Structure 1
Amino acid sequence: MTASLTLACLWALAANVLAMLPSRDNHWRRAWALIALGVPVLGLVTWQHGPWLGLIVLAAGMSVLRWPLVYLARWLRRQLG
């Protein structure tokens, strides 16, 4: 397994462990940190393994960080009409 896939697996493991720990702000600070760390890892996976594996890793990250995506979709709907 390459370094980029290892980093993606470690990111997923860290995301799941962080989700299990209690939080006062509903995990938003952790979500922003995971997004900031996950974007470069996603770029590295896509660069090394191509767009299909990059899309699979993106889908995995989206399943972990689904609430920020829900709020982004709601915000976009309000902005667009």
Structure 2
Amino acid sequence: MLLTFKSKPQMRLYYPLEMFEAWPKDTFSFCPKCALDSFEPLLDNGPEHYIRCKVCGSLWIAHTKAEIEAPLGAVSA
């Protein structure tokens, strides 16, 4: 059976996994919903990084830190 919640010690809060969206490709260091760059890391789980936007509260899963730390103006290959 698949767990739909991470444990409280891991996530600090309970967030259903269905609430997380995949980080869009070609998005840089700002939130795709509100275009601001204030994030709270929730969990670094190997290749997946669970983050929450502190401004709009949207939840994201980035598969590499490069996806959320790419410099502005970078072009992906």
TM-score, normalised via structure 1 length: 0.28
Higher helix share: 1
Q: Which has the larger radius of gyration?
A: 1
| Greater relative CO, 1 or 2 (CA 8 Å, sep 6+) | 1
